[in-house]
Every structure is written in C-alpha cells, then in structure tokens.
Structure 1
Amino acid sequence: MEDPITDIDIEGPDPDKKDIDEVKDKETLELESCMEVLTKLDLDLAYSSEKLVNLHGLSMHLSAQENELEARAMGNNYTSTEFVEKTLVFDLLSGVLESEVRELDSFMVSLQAEIVDAHQKISSCRHLTEPYTMMEEKLHDSEESLKQTQHRISEVKIQSTKLQRTVLAFAHDNWKGNIDESMSNTNGQSNLQIAGQRHILKMLEKSLARELDLEKKLAESRRSEEELRVKLHYTEQVAFHMEETAQVVWGRFLEADNSSVVLKGISHELLGRLQLVQFNLNGTVQRESELKSKYQDCLQELEEKNAVLEKLKSSTAENSAYEAELSALREKVQVLEEKLKESELKLKNANVINHSSQIKLREMENIVESLKESIDVADTRAESAELKVAELNGTNVELTEELNFLKGSVTNTEKKVGVLEKQLREAEIQLQHAKASSEASQEQQNMLYSAIWDMETLIEDLKSKVTKAENKTETSEEHCIILSETNEELTKEISTLRDRIEYLEASLVQAKNAKFESANEINVRTKFMMDMVLQLATERERIQNQLNVLTKENKTFADNFGYTVKNVYNEEEDDHDDKELSSFKTNLSNSSCAKSSLEAVNDSIGKSLEAEEEESLCEDGESDAVSVDDSDGTVSKLQDSRAASARCLNFKYFLVAIFVSLVSVSAMYLINHKPFLFH
C-alpha cells in the first residue's frame, strides 16, 4: 500500500515572511544611515575640539611671546634684530590664528546644519524605541559639545583681537624705539645688569612653572582617573546588563528549542495516529467490499436455491431441506447485519478520531504561530544586543580618544610655561618646598602610570567580554536559523497532514455516497417486493373466492347427481373424497383447470341420464346393466378428471406457498432493517 504523503507537493515560502524581511532590511538601512550621520558628527566635533585645543595652545604661546616682547619693549630693545624677528613672527602667528578661528567658525555653522539634518533623519526612526532614545541622547550630547566649542571659539576670537591690538601697539613702539635709539646706548651697562638678574628670575620662574604644571597635571590626572572610573563603572554595568540579556535570550532560545522538539514529537504521534486511522478506514472499506461480495453471493445462492427448488417441487422432503436452508440463510443475514452495524460503528469512531486530529492540528498551528512570535522577539533582542555592543565599541573609542587628549594636554601644559614667568619672581623662598613637592609629584606620576596600566588591562578585559558577547550573539543567531528551519519543516509536515486529512474525508464521502446508493437500491427492491406481495394477496383472495364458488357448485352438483352414482362408487368415494375436499380447501387452485374438469363431469352425467331414459323404456334388466355400465364410465371419467385437477392444483399451490413464504421473509427482513439503512 502506497503512502499518500509522498504524492503531495510541498508548498512554497510564505509571502508574509518576505514582507517582514523587507521591512526589517529597511529598518536596518535607516539605522545604519542614522548611525553613520552620528559617527560623522562625532568625528567632526572631535576634529574641531582638537583644532580648538591647538589654537588655544597657539594663543597661549602668543600671549607668552607678547609678555616677552613687552618686557623687551620696557627694556627699550627696539633696535635689536631678535626683537624685530620676534615681532614679525608674532604678527604672522596672530594672522594665522585669526584665519584659523574664522575657518573654525564657518565649520561650526556647517556642523549645526548637519545636526538639523540628523534630527530629521532620526525622527523617521521613532517606531524603534530603544535605538531612537539612544540616538537622541547622542545628538543632545553633540549639540552640547557644539555649544561648548562655539563658546571656546568666541574666547579665542577675543584673544586674537587682543593680539592684533598688541601687534599694532608693537609696531608703534618700534617706530618710537628708532627715535630713542641714541638714548639707549647710554643705558647699556645698566641694562646688562638688569638682564643678568632677569635671567636668574626666569630660571626661578621656569622651575616654579614646572612645579605648578606638575600640580596641574596631578589634578588633571586625578580628574581623568575619576572620569575613567565612572566610565568603567558604566561600562561594567552595561556589560552586566548585556550578560543578563544574553542569558535571557539564551534561555528563550533553549525554551524554543525544547518546544520545537516537543512539537516534533507531537507531529510524529499525529502521523502515527493518522496512519492508524487510514489503516482502519482501509480495513472498513475492505470489510464493506467483502460484505457486499458476500451479499451478492447470498443473492446468487438464493437464485440458485430458487432454481433448485423449482427442480425439486415434487418432493416434500426437499421442501423441509429448503426450509432448513432458509433458516441458515436467515442466520447468515443476521450475521451480515451485525457486521454492517460493527462497520458503521467503526466508521463513526474513525470520524471522531479525524475530528480530534483536526483539533490537534489547529493547536499545532497556534503553537507554531506563538513560536514565530517568540522568534521575532528574540530577533529584536539580538538586534538590541548588537546595538549595545556597538555602543560599547563607541565607548572604547571615546576612552582611547580621551587618552590621546590627555597626552595632548601634557604637551599643551608644557607650552603654558611661558605664561607663569611673571609669578616666578616671588617664588625664591619656596624652592626647597618645590623640590620636595616635585619628588612627591614624581611618585604620584608613577602611581598615575600604574593606574593607567590598570585601566588598559580593564579595557582589554572589557574587549574580551565584548568578544564573548559577540560570540553569544552569533550562537543565538545560529539557533534562530535552526529554529526557522525546524518551523519550515513543521509547516511542510502540517501541509502534508492537511492534504492527507482531505484525502481521508474524500474517501469517507465516497463511502457514504456508496452507502446511500445501496440504500436507495434496497428501498426500490423493497417497494417492488411489497407490490408483489400485495398482488399475491389480491390473487389469493380471488382464488379463495373461486374456491368458495367451486365448493358451492360441487355441493349443488352432488345434490343434482342423485343417488344413481352413490351406489356405484360409494366405497371408492369414501376413500378419496375427504382427501380431495381437504386439498381444495387448503391449497390454492387454478380456475381454468377446475372449470374444465367440472364441465367434463356435467357433460358425462347429462349423457348418462339421457341414455338411461332411452333404455329404461325397452328393458328393465338391460336398463340396469346399461345404467350400471354408464355409471361406471362416468365414475371413471369423474375420477380421472378429479385426479388431474388435484395434481395440477397441488403443484401450483406448492409453488405459490413457497413464493409467498420467501416474499414474506424478505419483506419482514427489509422492513425491520429499513431505518438502519436510512440512518
């Protein structure tokens, strides 16, 4: 027997899944474009802040150079070539500073326009709650940093304008110094002494500036330490949350895997049950075919037995054997009825099993839909995990940028040494304390280096955790792919099961139609048999009426015949008359045979009476002999006619009785089982 599952085509992919995938692709493209805009803004802001730091360092250098030039101007060193070179360099650097500040200002305006465009792009991703809030926070931070840079640019602008003013003032002082050149030669010796003292003061100022720079570096390093600790704490919290979410996602993936295994087991059970149902249905169909064949065999046997009965009509022993066979056939018919009842009960049970299997299939479809929803939730959480991993990567990049910024600030602090030269004149007494503080600062610097090393190790640990999280997300994606494949297999199995159930329903409908057709045929046959029974009943009544008429005619004939015949065949009539009358009363007869026999008897009796009247006139003895002879002839004729009519009537009555009994038995059987067939 072939399995119908192999003959069923497998359905194609669901178009709803394609739409969902297209929507997800669009969302990912929008997120990628928004993230690219945000990263570009962050890079531009970092570039502008770095350039601003460099410009600030240049302005500090120019302010220190301004102080130096002022000191030389106070010393009336206008004519020296070094002073002229320094003034020219100062003028050029101030011009460069002004041009760079203008360029930065225009760049800030373009950045502000880019932030407005980024706001418009991010507003299209409002349906994504978590990424939208994250991008909004980043934009807000970038706006604040842009405001801060603009404020710092305004400060640098003010400082550049001051430097331009000093450039103009130095040009005027240089013109004035050329006028007073003659007077400066007289005061040369005094200036040499002042220059030596000034050199000593500069050395002291440099040492004090170094100490102050070290203190500032310590303070900045402490601040950076605190900031790094806060950022590390934040990153640890983010990593902890990431691990928790990864564990939750992993647990849900395991639940989905277990549920898929359970669904596979249920589907296998349903397949087994469906196969059992199909096997039972095939068995019932075969049994029905066997019962039909047996029923046809019984009909053929009935026909054969009818033929045998027609051949064995003359013997009563064969009639009794036929009755025994009829009882056996009745028992067989009862057995067949019981088998038909059992087959219908089995069909009802099969219908109930099919209904339960359909209910279970609906439950399977609901479970598969819930699995699809859980897989979609897991996909969204995996995407959020990837976004959080990207945030961790961004924080790592920011930490590296801050380390670079600290290194740049160290170089910038070295440039700020010239600003503190004026304060070194008052720090001669504090040199010893400065040495001690310098030693302490060196120790603190060593501590800072060790702290930075620890921070680097922590960053490496965080990177390893991030890689682990990425590996977990990859494994979760693989599990999602496996679950999607299992869901596709389950959908294919469900489609095959549905096709198989439709096939079973079609076979059940065909069986029901066959039953209804057989029931209609049986009803038609029962109607035909009932009509035959009614016709036989009417024929029987007619024959009984004819028998009554014949009995009356026989009585009148016996009364008219007189005593002449009585004396001749009295002895023989005593033996045969009772049997003939009982056969006339109990059996059915043919009217034509009875009438012909009675007419022959009347003719013979009339002729004998006429002969007796003619011969009675001649001789009394001869008349007696003739009357005796005639009576013997008439008696013999009457006996022959009665024997022939009795034989004909007995044969026909026997056939009619057998046919009526068969018709009554079949009619009672069909009438008793008629509601069962129409049920």
Structure 2
Amino acid sequence: MDDLAVSDINLDLDAISISGGGQELENAIKFLTKVDMDLACSSEKLLNLHFLLMHLLALNDELDPRAVDNGYFKEDFLEKALRYDLLIGILDSEVREVDIFLATLPAEIDDADHEISSCRHFQEVYTLMDEKLHKCQESLKQSQEQALEVKRHIANFQKDFAAVESEKSEKDKVLDLSDKNQLFNLSFRSRTKELPRYVSRMLEKSLAKELALEKKLLESRQNEEDLKRKLHYTEQVALHMEEAAEVVWGRFLEAENASEILMGISKELVGKYQVIQFNLNSSVQREAELISKIENVVEQLKAKDIIVQELESVNADYVTKCSEVVNLKDKVKVLEEQLKETRFHLKEANTSWEASQHQINEMEHLIETLKEGIEAAESRVDAVEGKVTELTDSNLELTEELNFLKGSVNSKTEKVSVLEKQLRELELQLQHARASSEASQEQQNMLYSAIWDMETLIEDLKSKVSKAEGKTDSVEEQCIELSEANFELKKEVSLLRAKLRHLEMSLDDANSSKVAIADEVNLRTKIMMDTVMQLAFERERIQKQLYFLTKDDTMLVGKLKKVSEESFNSISRNKDFDEREPPL
C-alpha cells in the first residue's frame, strides 16, 4: 500500500513539475506528499492490526467456555487466556497510537489545503492537488472508521474475557456449594436412618463422626495442599508466561525495529527514486526546451523564407514596373508623336482658319453686295407691287366700265373690242409683272438661302475653329500632364532602381544569413541529436536503476514478511516449548 501511495505521489510530482514551479507550489507538494505518506503508513498499520484482530477472533473462539468443557484449570486454557489478554493489551495500545496519529492528520490536511489554495493561479496543478487532497480526506475517514471498528472489537473482546472470568468464578462457587450440599444430604440421611437406633449406637455414631471429621480434616488438608500446589503451579506458569511474553515482546520489538530500519531503507530508496525521477523530469524538460528552440529556429527560417519570397515578389513587381515604365516610355513617345501631329494639324487648322477667315471676309463682302441687290430688288418689288396695285385698280375700273358698257353692247361693240384688247394687254402686263415679281421673289429666296448657307458655313467654320482651339488646349494640357508624368516616372524609375539595389543587397544578406542559419541549424541539430541520444541513454540507465530499486524494494518487503513470519513462528515455537515444558 505504501508503494502505491508513493507511486501516486511520484505521478503527481511528474505532472506538477511539467506544468510549472515556484516556492508555494513546492511547499504545497511537500505538505501533500507528507499527508499521503502518513495516511499510507496509518493504513498499513491498520491492515496489520486487522490481521492481529483476526488472530484474536480465532483465540476468542478457542476460549469459548462451551468448547472447553469445564477445563478452566487446564494449563492450555490458562496459557491461551494469558496470551489472549496480552494480545488484547497490545492491540489496544497500538489502536490508541493509531487513533492519536489520525487525530493529528486533519490539521496537516488543513495546512495542505491552505498551501494548495495559494496555488490557484496554477489551474491544472491546483485541480490535481485538490483531487489528491479529497482522496486523502476520504482515506482518512476510512482509516478512522477502521480504527473505530477495531476499538469496538477490542471492547467486545474485553467484555467476553471479563464474562469468561466471572463465569469461571461463579462455577467455582457453585462447585463448592454442591459439595457442601452433598455432605449435608449424606449426614441428614444417615441421621434419619440412625434415629431409631440412636440410643444403642450413640457411641458408634460419635466415633464415626470423629472418624468422619478426621477424614474430612485430612481431605480438606489434602485439598488445601492440592490447591496450594495448583496455585504454585499457576504462579510458575504465570511467571513462565510473563518470561515468554517478555521474550516475545523483545522479539516483537526487534521485528518492529527491523521493520522501521527496512522502512527507513525503503524511504531512502523512495527518496533516491524521487531524485532520479526529478532528474528525469529535468532532462525531459531540457529536451522539451531544446525542441522548442529548434521549433523557434525553424520558425525563424520560415520567416526568412517568407521574407525572401516577399523580396522575390517585390523584385517581380519591380520587373513588372520596369516593363510598365518601358511601356509608359513608349506611350510617351507615341504621345509626343501625336503632339507633333496635333501641332502640325494645329498649324494646318490655323492656315485653314486663315483661309476660311479670308473666305468669310469675301463672303461677307458678297453678302453685303447681295444685301444691296436685295434692297434694290425689294425697291423694284415695291415698284412692281405699286404698279400691280395700279393695274388692279385700273382693272377694276375697266371691269366697271366693262360692266357699264355691256349694257350698251349693241351700241358700243367697237368700244368693247377695243377695251377687250386693252384688257388683254393689261392682263399680259399683269402676268409679266407677276412673273417678274415671282422671279424677284425667287431671286430673293435664293439670296436668303445663300445667306443662310453662308451663315451655317461661317458657324461650322467657327465651331471647327473652336474645336481646333479646344484640341490645341487639350493637347497642350496633355503635353503638360505627360511631361509631369514623365518627370514622376523618371523619379519612380530612380527610386525603383535604388530599391532594386537595396533589395539585391538585402537578398544577398538574406542568402548569406540563410546559409549561416542553415549551418547553425545543422550544428544545433547535431548537438540536439547528441543530447537526445544522451537523454535516451540516461533514460535507459534510470529505468534500469528504477527496475533494480523496485526489485530491491520487493526483496526488502519479502525480507520484512519473512522476518514477521519468523517472529510469529518463534512465538509459536516458544508457545509449543512452554506447552511441552513439564510443570514444576
């Protein structure tokens, strides 16, 4: 049971040493291991006391008055009774010691709880130690219950032993009373038989009484001597039993001292085991630190690889930007050519504008002449219209006259014919006037259409001139923008060239650092592999030491069991020797 407790403690210590450290944590671990070891010792002692209790139960069955058949004065019974009483006393004293020891454990558990509560910031360790403390409290309750059960059995044993002794004394008293009653009955019967012959046999009776009294006196003396011999024998037996008990007690003390020595050796072995376990944990922790360092170095290499990739991507971007710069240069050249073409077109547009301006001036001169002709035509049209009105008036007059003359048709036919001729002539003149007015109107319309066409042409030329001016302005703005963009692109190209140089230098540095880091990583991996091999060798050596320590522990436990068996065998041999020894 101690081995199990120690293994549990070692497991908990391993878990704790991996998770974290600190003075508070070490104190809590010390308190917890002390409580666990004390509980393991108390449980082991209670287990041994249970074995002694089973032995006492067997002796109690042997000391049953019904099984002895009135053999209360037998030597075997007295020896068993003395041994029974002695073992009850030993068991009672041991149980009291265990009870006192268990009474001190709650204070230790409270101290351990106080120390564990100060380690709440270690969450995993705190949960492990709290569970272990609850297990210790439960085992303490079980140990206290076992101690109470042993106490109850001891009380029952003491009651049974007291009852056996009282029954023995009562039976002794009953035997004495029965002897006296038998003597009284015999004397009474003899007296009743000899009453009729009382007178004749008075002397014989007195003689018989004297003889009987003498016999009784002799018998009583013999009984007294027998009782004295028996008392002397019992005293000698008691002395022998005390001597045997002293011998047994000495052997028991020797066995207990040997068990304590073996317990100290086992504790030393456990301490060595814990030291070895601590060294193993420290080596495992160092191995974990080396692994973490390797992981950090690998992460640094990955980060540097990422930086190299970024540099390559930046270099690719630079190449793309260089190609874009070349494309922009081509575009600038194309735009310069377009600018030259636009300037040439602008010159052509200026020349065409000057020619169109000359044409416009000529057209304005023509328009002015046309306006003068239109005014003259309008004056002519006005004159023709006046003539037409005059002719219409004269026509009306002539029609009136014709109507007037028609009344005198027969009388004035000649006048009618003359008037008809005049009317036809007037109609012809009117048609000529209308045709001339229509021709002048058409001419006027043609002039208006020509003026309109000239105005639209002038507006088109003006719009073309404005468009050409807008194009020249936009081309000038584009030239300014292109010159600015060209200047900015030249700046960017210079910056990109500087960046490219810097990136090339950083790439060279990164490659050199990468090579150095690779060499360092190879060196560290070699060192780590050597340390791992050393750790594996140390682990095998520690496992072998643990195996040998466990083997030594099992051998010590076997030796302790053999010593206890030899002590019990020596006790039994002493009992057999005492039984075989003849009474004095």
TM normalised by structure 1 equals 0.27
TM normalised by structure 2 equals 0.31
